[in-house]
Amino acid sequence: MHSTTQSPKPGAVWVDEPFEPDCARNTLLVRFPWTLSWRIHVSSGYTGLVSQLLQNIEDILGKNPPLDFLRIIEQEEEQGPTRRKIHVFIELRQCSAAKSQAIRHAIHMTGKWAERLCPRCGDKLMTVNPFDEDTCEMTPELIAFLKTRSGPFRSRTIEICLPCLQLEWEASHPFGFVEESGVDASQEEDEDCDEATDGDEPWDAACPAEENESGEDCADAINDDAPPDEVQNSAVEQAVKAAIFKAADIDLLEKTCSTATRDQSSRAKALISSLRETEPDKPLTPIPDDWRSVCDDLDARFPNFKDVTEFLRSQFALSDIGDRVIRSAPVLLVGEPGIGKTEYLHQLAEAVAGEFIAINIGNSQTNSTLAGSERYWSNSHQGRLFDALVFGTVANPIIMLDEIDKAGGQYDKYKPLSALHQLLEPRQARNFYDLSVPEIKFDASHILWVASANDLDMIEKPIVDRFTVFGVEKPTPAQMTAVVNNIYRRFLAEHPSGAYFDSEIRPDTMALLCAHPPRKVRKLVEGAFGFAAREARNYLLPEDIRDSEKNKRHTIGFVR
């Protein structure tokens, strides 16, 4: 059992910062050394859970999984003071649809289990009703202590880790008594419910079990005295879901597969079984509560993307006065290679904390990546879009299409971007279907599309017209200082050895790095840290910035 060294913030038992993330990280590195270059920042209680996920990834992709990106982080939820949610951002390199679906299922199950476990110790969480008389009689000191630590409860039930709460209570109250605003706990229990309704105390906490005149449970009735904002927020919370597909379409698919070939019927039955276990209604990811700070941070880290960030800031503001669901028109970033387009989109997705899927369209030769392949092919499979929405966790994932100007395909029918004609039009996207499963129509109108390209002229004009296009310029010398600092500090935050080095770059080293484009700076900085470590230095010098491309010899003809 571990004890936290951080003070909880008001209104919550745990803080947003994971509990002993270094302990979890070091334990995982011993078993999975290939995760060294990736960011895994979770509490020690999730070590076993994340270890199982990484083991599943190895079982599916091999001992050294071919990944282009992996990031595992956690976020506090409101359902209970100990409840967390694990977010997994992963980009697979040249992975089959079956393996991709298996990885997605493993991530989904990891997320579900994480919500049931204590991030501090890994024990299973316990659901309690802090207003229930039997519960209060069983652990009166702990319930009173929980109220002092968590503030007013918004729900009739919360999830807690009883052993951890017991340890915290014993550490805070060595003499076995609990004080709450100067009132003894036993005195609080003797107070009448009517007296507790005076003042500003939350209505549901004051009268938890009584019935009103109409016979309805007080906890389920509408409180006329409740602030308008609370009633409005409650209505919004119940409305942030979208129906992705119809259960009736599964019956149609089952009927169709009865007359199919043996191979087709086998694939269809497996798919039907998975669909029966999948919830058709998916939640819509909301905008971050601190969306203004998110935009300010993007401005500071990516100063040459100011116009893009300004556009996003207006989209967030529009959602903030509505249902707070994140929405945006499709965005296309155009600029020369290496200026940070892909990195900007990755960090945007990370800040939003929604589901993020990166697709390198430049490697695609047909439209099967997005729309699947025709059923008559022996190796027919669903596209990435079907898996992302039907088997995903949210209705509005962020899907990044990288290098769309390099998409191949000789004929209109097989062009990788042909599906975008329908997908980028919300009205048409509501009834999209995968070519391998035409019976299942799904709603793709909530997707947040972002794309990058180097040459706008290489993209069909009808596709370009469906995007909001931003030309991204190469960072100016003044802007490069912010870009280099961002890359440098990101290494310090994510690499296990980052704490060893100085928090700031020396001016002479900074000047040398600013002469290179952002993508190259990232490579140079990563190499420079290694050279400094060899010399047992905790700072970078100009001689650590070694450009290997300068030493390349390009010869034509005979080699001497």
pLDDT tens per residue, range 65-122: 999 899 999 887 655 456 788 889 999 888 888 888 889 888 988 888 888 888 888 8
Coil, strand or helix at 328: coil
Could you tell me if 2 and 120 are in contact, meaning their C-beta atoms sit under 8 angstroms apart? yes
The CATH code of the domain that includes 295 is 3.40.50.300
What was the pLDDT predicted at 88?
A: 92
Shared-domain flag, residues 74 and 106: yes
Shared-domain flag, residues 399 and 373: yes
What was the pLDDT predicted at 53?
A: 93
Residue 264, domain member (yes or no): no
Residue 127, domain member (yes or no): yes
**DSSP class of 9:** P
CA 375 to chain centre: 33
- Total count of domains within the chain: 3
Rounded to an integer, what distance in angstroms lies between the CA atom of residue 413 and that of residue 415? Answer: 6
Coil, strand or helix at 340: coil
Q: What percent of the chain has pLDDT over 90?
A: 18
Element (H, E) at 451: strand 448-453
Place of tokens 């038992």: 13
Shared-domain flag, residues 367 and 311: yes
What was the pLDDT predicted at 152?
A: 52
Residue 242, domain member (yes or no): no
Shared-domain flag, residues 28 and 92: yes
Last residue of a domain, one of 423, 455, 474: 474
Position 408 confidence tier, pLDDT thresholds 50, 70, 90: low
Shared-domain flag, residues 363 and 495: no
Position 1 confidence tier, pLDDT thresholds 50, 70, 90: very low
Last residue of a domain, one of 456, 474, 492: 474
Backbone angles phi, psi at 453, to 5 degrees: -160, 160
Rounded to an integer, what distance in angstroms lies between the CA atom of residue 322 and that of residue 236? Answer: 9
| Amino acid letter for position 400 | M
For residue range 175-184, what is the model confidence (pLDDT) as tens digits? 444 443 344 4
- Give the residue-averaged pLDDT of 327-333: 92
Residue 153, domain member (yes or no): yes
What was the pLDDT predicted at 6?
A: 37
Min mean pLDDT across 129-138, 305-314, 348-357, 535-544 is at 129-138
Adjacent-strand bridge partners of 402: 360
Shared-domain flag, residues 470 and 530: no
Last residue of a domain, one of 431, 448, 474: 474
Residue 215, domain member (yes or no): no
Residue 196, domain member (yes or no): no
For residue range 295-318, what is the model confidence (pLDDT) as tens digits? 998 988 888 899 999 999 999 999
Alpha-carbon separation of residue 277 from 56, 250, 281 (angstroms): 21, 11, 12
Query: What is the domain range of residue 466?
Result: 284-474
For residue range 535-553, what is the model confidence (pLDDT) as tens digits? 899 999 999 988 766 655 4
- Give the residue-averaged pLDDT of 501-528: 88
The CATH code of the domain that includes 524 is 1.10.8
Rounded to an integer, what distance in angstroms lies between the CA atom of residue 424 and that of residue 330? Answer: 7
Shared-domain flag, residues 14 and 139: yes
Shared-domain flag, residues 546 and 432: no
Position 132 confidence tier, pLDDT thresholds 50, 70, 90: low
For residue range 229-243, what is the model confidence (pLDDT) as tens digits? 443 443 334 447 899
Residue 248, domain member (yes or no): no
Place of tokens 């996207």: 429
Shared-domain flag, residues 468 and 511: no
Shared-domain flag, residues 436 and 493: no
